Amino acid sequence: MAETTNQDEEFSGTKPVEERHRIDEEKLHAWMAENVEGYRGPLSILQFKGGQSNPTYRLDTPTTSYVLRRKPFGKLLPSAHAVDREFRVISMLHQQGFPVAQPHALCMEDTVIGSAFYVMSMELGRVLWNATLPGIDREHRRAMYVSKIETLARLHSYDPQKLGLGDFGRPGNYFARQVDRWTKQYRASGSERIEEVERLIDWLPMTLPKQERVAIVHGDYRIDNMIFHPIEPSVRAVLDWELSTVGDPMADFTYLLMQWSLPGGLAQADLTALNIPTLDEAAQIYGACTGIELPDLNWYFSYNLFRLVGIMQGIAGRIREGTAASAKASEAAALAMPLAKAAWDFAQKAGAR
């Protein structure tokens, strides 16, 4: 087994359930006995350390472990934390053999644990947070990145209509919808005014790229949102489908490529020494799977950072409301300003004035 880094240990694994996230174990046990095939108690509950959005729990029984994801308690921003959408998309993808957890049951009532939730299988493997993969054998690093990119290309190969997900996203230009959505989320968060964001709100809608393809979009496809096989360098399950929709797959892929462009990711890493693909090599791997050629990336990088600002401002809003799910939420919220500045830098490279 590969060694874990301090960052992996900090964010991975479980902890006792925080007081503000406690749920009624007896009611949950009764619900699972009625709704989850093969369930047998008694039940014990722990909370996963990672994640800043939907609180996630590990449910252990004498024979099986499960994962529960629920909406946060309290006031929420519009359209956020739609666990029913998560459950729907992983149900469809699981039927196709795509690497996701097995969905067991969805509960949209608040009467069981206080909010909507769903239960899925517990997939064993490695969750990694550091993009340079410091605890991984050198010969496995490239293979893990190739698996990650090929898995995304596979997701983008599905026809949403054939999977019964044709109505999973609204028609029209995906980027137009997303810019509008994250503008509204940014406004609704009630956070301080950021001048760079105001400029992006004006510039992005006027420069939207033409949409060439429609696919299932994960929305937050990054290395810590997947489980790798315990030994092999391959993706075992893709996690956290909260932001998934039907839209332009370029949004997903350029979001992944940003990892090579930003400090804290791979921007300053010695990729040759680490045996990790370069940005161009990553694009070639994806292109070989999908048959597409990438356009200029600066607009997409600007958009993706703008979207991240909206997410971070939403986290800041939940901190004020007392519903943020992670102790790291305040640190995440503090990223909004530097992300906004970086987004405007990319916008200027794409021609913004």
Instruction: Decide if 229 is inside a domain.
Output: yes
* Same domain (yes/no): 196, 304: yes
Q: What is the pLDDT of residue 326?
A: 62
Q: Which of 291, 300, 247 is nearest to 153 (CA)?
A: 291
* Same domain (yes/no): 167, 232: yes
Contact of 142 with 277, CB cutoff 8 Å: yes
Instruction: Decide if 263 is inside a domain.
Output: yes
* Same domain (yes/no): 211, 317: yes
* Same domain (yes/no): 155, 283: yes
* Same domain (yes/no): 117, 142: no
86: CATH: 3.30.200.20
Domain end, chosen from 58, 93, 121, is at: 121
161: number of CA atoms within 13 Å, CB side? 2
Q: Which of 244, 6, 8, 333 is nearest to 255 (CA)?
A: 244
How do the pLDDT tens digits run along the chain, 353 residues long?
Answer: 233 344 444 446 889 999 988 999 999 999 999 999 999 999 999 999 865 568 899 999 999 999 999 988 765 544 555 899 999 999 999 999 999 999 999 999 999 999 999 999 999 999 998 999 999 999 999 999 999 999 999 999 999 999 999 999 888 899 999 999 999 988 887 677 899 999 999 999 999 999 989 999 999 999 999 999 999 999 999 999 998 999 999 999 999 999 998 877 899 999 999 999 999 999 999 999 999 888 899 999 999 999 999 888 877 776 766 666 665 666 666 788 899 999 999 999 999 99
Please count the structural domains in the chain: 2
Q: What is the pLDDT of residue 323?
A: 64
* Same domain (yes/no): 189, 78: no
Instruction: Decide if 266 is inside a domain.
Output: yes
Instruction: Decide if 127 is inside a domain.
Output: no
Q: What is the pLDDT of residue 125?
A: 94
Q: CB under 8 Å to 132, separation ≥6 — which residues? A: 266, 269, 274, 276
* Same domain (yes/no): 182, 281: yes
- Exposure string (b/e) for 185-214, b if CB count within 10 Å is 16 or more? bbebbebeebebbebbbebbeeeebebeeb
Amino acid, res. 76: L
Q: Which of 36, 87, 30 is nearest to 64 (CA)?
A: 36
Token digits of residue 6: 């301090």
pTM value is 0.87
Domain end, chosen from 74, 90, 121, is at: 121
* Same domain (yes/no): 259, 337: yes
Instruction: Decide if 133 is inside a domain.
Output: no
* Same domain (yes/no): 66, 151: no
Q: What is the pLDDT of residue 188?
A: 86
* Same domain (yes/no): 309, 169: yes
Report the alpha-carbon distance of residue 246 to residue 165 in Å, rounded.
Answer: 8
Phi, psi for residue 48 in degrees, rounded to 5: -70, 145
Locus of tokens 């030994």: 231
* Same domain (yes/no): 94, 202: no
DSSP letter assigned to residue 126: B
**Is the previous residue joined to 42 through a cis bond, with omega within 30 degrees of 0?**
yes
* Same domain (yes/no): 299, 175: yes
Instruction: Decide if 318 is inside a domain.
Output: yes
Instruction: Decide if 132 is inside a domain.
Output: no
232: CATH: 3.90.1200.10
Domain containing residue 142:
138-349
Contact of 118 with 86, CB cutoff 8 Å: yes
Domain end, chosen from 121, 151, 168, is at: 121
